[in-house]
Amino acid sequence: MRYAVIGAGAVGGYFGGRLANAGRDVCFLLHSDYDYVCSHGLRVDSCRGDFLLNPVQAYRDAAGLPQCDVVLVGLKTVNNHLLPGLLRKVAGPETLVVLIQNGIGMEDDLQKAMPGLQIAAATAFICSSKIGPGHICHMDYGSLTIANYSCRDTAKLDTLVGDLKDSGVETYTADYLLARWRKAVWNMPFNGMTVALNTSTAQLLANPATRQLIKEQMMEVIGAANACGVMGLDESFADKQIATTDKMTPYKPSMKLDYDNGRPMEIDYLYSHPIAIAAAAGFEMTRLKMLEAQLRFLSNNK
C-alpha cells in the first residue's frame, strides 16, 4: 500500500517514519521542514532504536502528492479546517484517512465535510516531541490503537494494522467510541493540568492534592463515557492509567508544549466537544468544564 503522512511532527512523523524505515511506500507532506528534510532527511531518536530516513519522499504541496491508499493525519486539530482541501488532492474514493489526533468529535466533523470519505481513528500512547527541523525525539511507550469509523474496506484496515506491527509499532484495534473516550481519560486531566499549573506529569502525581484531583478528573471522564454508552471503563482503568504514568519518563504533553511555544492549544476537541457531548447525554463534567475555562483564559491572555 502507498501511504501519505499529513502532519509529520512528533506523532505523524514518528509512525510514518517507522513505516518508511520498514520499507513501506510513504510520502510526507511537509511545510516549514521541507527544505531541511530534502537535504538532511528525517531523523528519529527513539528509545526503541534510532533511525534516519534519507532520502525522504517529501512534498511541499498536497497537489503534488500521488493518490494514496492510506493517509495518516498527524495535524493538530486546530488545523482541521484545512483537511478537506488537502484530502481532496490525495484521497480517492477508496482511500482510508486515519486521524491520529487527540480529542473527540473530529471524525464526525470531517465526515460532514466529506460525506463519502472512509475514515478511521487512531489513538497514540506515546511520549514523543519534535525537537528540531526533521528531528523527532521518542522518549517512551509508542503504541497505536486503530478504530473503524466509516471504513468500508476492512481488509485495508487489516493491512494497515499488519504493516504497523511489521514496522515495530505495538498496534491494537478497538471499538471507535471506546478508543476515543479511553484516550480522553488520560488526555483531559494531564494536558490541561500541566498548562494550568505550569508543571509536568510527574510533578502532578508527586503531589497528593493534585494526584487526587487527577483521579477525580479521570473518573469524571469515565462517567461521561458511560453516560454516552461506552462500556469497559471503570475506576480500575483510571488506577491503571495513573500507575502507568508513574512509570513514565517525566513528560510535558502536547498541549503544554504548544502553550510554552506560543502555539494554539487544542481546546475545542480535547475539552469543548466532549464536555458538550456528555452534557447532551445528561452528564455534567464540572471539574473539566472549570479546567476548560482556565485554558480559555490562558489562551486569550498570553
Based on the residue annotation, tell me whether 183 is a catalytic residue of this protein.
yes
Contact (CB, 8 A) for 42 and 53: yes
How many Å apart are CA 245 and CA 189, to the nearest integer? 12
SS (H, E, C) 18-85: HHHHCCCEEEEECCCCHHHHHHHCEEEEECCCCEEECCCEEECCHHHCCCEEEEEECCCHHHHHHHHH
- CA 190 to chain CA centroid, Å, is 14
Q: Cell numbers at residue 38, please?
A: 530534502
Task: Reduce the DSSP state of residue 291 to 3 states and report it.
Answer: helix
How many Å apart are CA 4 and CA 90, to the nearest integer? 8
How many Å apart are CA 283 and CA 137, to the nearest integer? 39
Q: In 230-240, which positions are buried (b, 16+ CB within 10 angstroms) versus exposed (e)?
A: beebeeebbee
- Count Cβ atoms below 10 Å from residue 3 Cβ, excluding itself: 23
- CA 259 to chain CA centroid, Å, is 17
Contact (CB, 8 A) for 294 and 192: yes
Catalytic residue among 76, 130, 156, 183: 183
How many Å apart are CA 169 and CA 11, to the nearest integer? 12
Contact (CB, 8 A) for 93 and 67: no
Give the residue numbers annotated as catalytic, written as ranges: 183
